Amino acid sequence: MRRTVIVGGVAAGMSTATRLRRNDENMEIVVLERGPYVSFANCGLPYHLGGTIAERDELLLHTPESLAERFDIDVRASHEVVSIDRGARTITVVDRSADTTGTLSYDALVLATGASAVVPPIPGIERAHTLRDVPDLDSVMADLERDPRSAVVLGGGFVGLEAAENLAGRGLDVTIVEAADQILAPLDAEMAAVVARHLEGNGVRVRTGLRAVAIDEDSVRLDDGSVVPAALVLASTGVRPESGLARDAGLELGVGGGVLVDAQRRTGDPRIFAVGDVAVESSAVTGQDTLVPLANIANRHGRMVADVICGRTAGALPSLGTAIVGLFGLAAAVVGANERTLRQQGRAIHVIHTHPSDHAGYYPGAEMMKLKLVVDAETGLILGAQGVGRSGVDKRIDVIATAMRAGLSAADLADLELAYAPQFGSAKDPVNMLGMIADNLAAGTVGTTQWHEVHAAVAAGATVLDVRTPEEVAAGTIAGAVNIPLDELRKRLDEVPDGPVIATCRVGMRGYLATRILTQEGRDATNLDGGMLTWEDAGLPLA
C-alpha cells in the first residue's frame, strides 16, 4: 500500500489529505501536525477576539477523530517532524504528548508547514502576542480576561487591522503602529490612506513610519520618542515560511526562505512536494518569484498536489494575489500588482481611478466606492486593480481577477455583460466604465495626469484648469488652478493660459469632457485621473 505523509494539518495539508482520499480509497494517508489542533479556521481567529465569532469551537472545523471517521485519514496532532532522510525516504517524528521519537517511511511527502510570525527583536517583546493558531488565540483571550483598556497592534497588514478592529469592538483604546509609510502594503498610498482615515474615524489611531523600540509594562515606546498606552500588545509584523525542515533536508530555498517548487509543487526531490505558505509562488503579473500566504491558494494547491500524486497531469497557475479585508463596514480589495511596484520595475503603464456608486444612484442606498486599475500601456493587459468602499468592492475585484486569469485586455472590460438591476449595479457597471476609460487611453483619445505628477507638471509650465462650478471650487482646489466651469468652457477658451493644461473636476468626468474640448481645439491637455477626490484621497492640500 502506498503511503503519503503530509507535514502540517491546516489549510494546504488537509486539502491535500482529503483530496487524496477522494482520489484513492486504498492509499495510506498520514497527517502530522506539530500543534494540538488540525483543520482550524485561522482566517477567523481575529473575529473571535471581538465576539463576531462568539464560540471558539466554531473555528475548529475537524478533529483527528472526525477526519478518521469520515475520510479514513490517520491524523496525529502534537507530532513534530524534525528531520527528513531523503535517501531512505523516512522522516523522524517526535510525539510531543508521549515524549517519544520514531521514524515513518513515505512514498510521497508533502510539506505543508505554513509560515510563522515574524517577531521584532525589541526589549519586552516577550509580552507581545501573535495570532497564527488556536493556542495564540487562547493566549490573547486569556489576557483579555484581565480587562485591559488599551492595545497596540504592531503591523498594519490584513491580520493586524482585523485584530485592531475587533479589539476596538471590545472597547479597547487601540493604536496601530506600522513601520512603513502606509498600512496595507499591497495597496497604493492614496488607496491605503482612505482605509487609514476610516480606521481613525472609528477610533483606531494609525501611526505610520514609526517603529517600536521597547515594550514596557503598560506601554510601547516608538522611535520618535513617543509612548503609546498598551496594556495588551499584538505583534502582526508579517510571516516567514516554516522551511527549516526542507532546508535541513537539502532542498533548495528561494525568495524569503520559501521552498522552491515547480508548477506541480515538486521540490528538487521528485517525491517531496511543498504547498501553501511555505512554498514560493510565481507572480502572474511580474513573473517574479514571490510569497503569497493566502488561504485560497493553499487550498487550491493542496488539492492539485493530491491529483499529481495520484497520477493526474496538473499544474499550478501563477498567482494573482487576490485579497480583501473588511474594517468597520469598509472593504479594501486588491488583485495583481500595484502602481508603486510596476513603476519601480520601469513598466510602461496606464493608471485609472474612478469613484462610482455600487449601484444606480437613483436607487436608494447607493454607496460610493473607489476603484483603481493598472494597465500595461503596450499590450493593454490588466496588471492590477484595487478597490475601497462599503459595498460592491468584492464583486468588482472578483470580476477583474477573473478577466485577468482569462487574459482579457482592460478595454475588454467595457464589453462584459454583467448582471444589472438598479439595486445591484448600473447599466454601465463600474467595471465596464474602467474598460471604456482604458479603451480611450489605448486609442489616444485622452491623456491623463496622475495626482503625484501634478506638481512637477506645474513646475514645468502646465496650468491646472478646474472645470467645476465656482461654489465647488470655493470649498478647495489645487493651488494656482484657473477656474472655468465646463459649461462655459467653449465660450471662454481664450481665457485658458497658454501651454499644457491639466483639467480637473470632482471625479474626472467633467475633466475628461474638458480635455476632449481642448484637444480638439489643438491644445495640449490631459485629465487629472480621478479628479479632486483622488487628490484628496492622497492627502494633498487644497487651496
Question: Active-site residue among 505, 514, 517, 538?
Answer: 505
Beta bridge partners of 273: 110, 266
Distance (Å, rounded) from C-alpha 267 to C-alpha 261? 5
Beta-carbon contacts of residue 140 (< 8 Å; ≥ 6 apart) = 49, 129, 131, 232, 234
Phi, then psi, of 100 in degrees rounded to 5: -125, 160
* In contact, 123 and 215? CB cutoff 8 Å: yes
Q: Find cell 483603481 and name the residue.
A: 372
Kindly write down the DSSP assignment for every residue of 102-151, as one continuous string. EEEE-SEEEE---EEE-----TTGGG-B--SSHHHHHHHHHHHTT--SEE
Distance (Å, rounded) from C-alpha 206 to C-alpha 200? 7
Encode 185-222: b = buried (16+ Cβ within 10 Å), e = exposed.
bbbbbbbbbbbbebbeebebbbbbeebbeebeeebbbb
Q: How many CB atoms within 10 Å of residue 435?
A: 27
Q: Locate 498 and state its grid cell.
A: 497658454
Q: Which of 313, 266, 318 is nearest to 297 (CA)?
A: 318
The question of whether 43 is a catalytic residue gets the answer no
Q: Which stretches does DSSP call E strand in 114-226?
A: 115-117, 150-154, 173-178, 205-208, 212-215, 219-222
Q: Locate 56 and state its grid cell.
A: 471558539
Q: Find cell 505628477 and name the residue.
A: 453
Beta-carbon contacts of residue 459 (< 8 Å; ≥ 6 apart) = none
Q: Which of 170, 331, 123, 139 is nearest to 234 (CA)?
A: 139
Distance (Å, rounded) from C-alpha 14 to C-alpha 272? 16
Which residues are tagged catalytic? 505
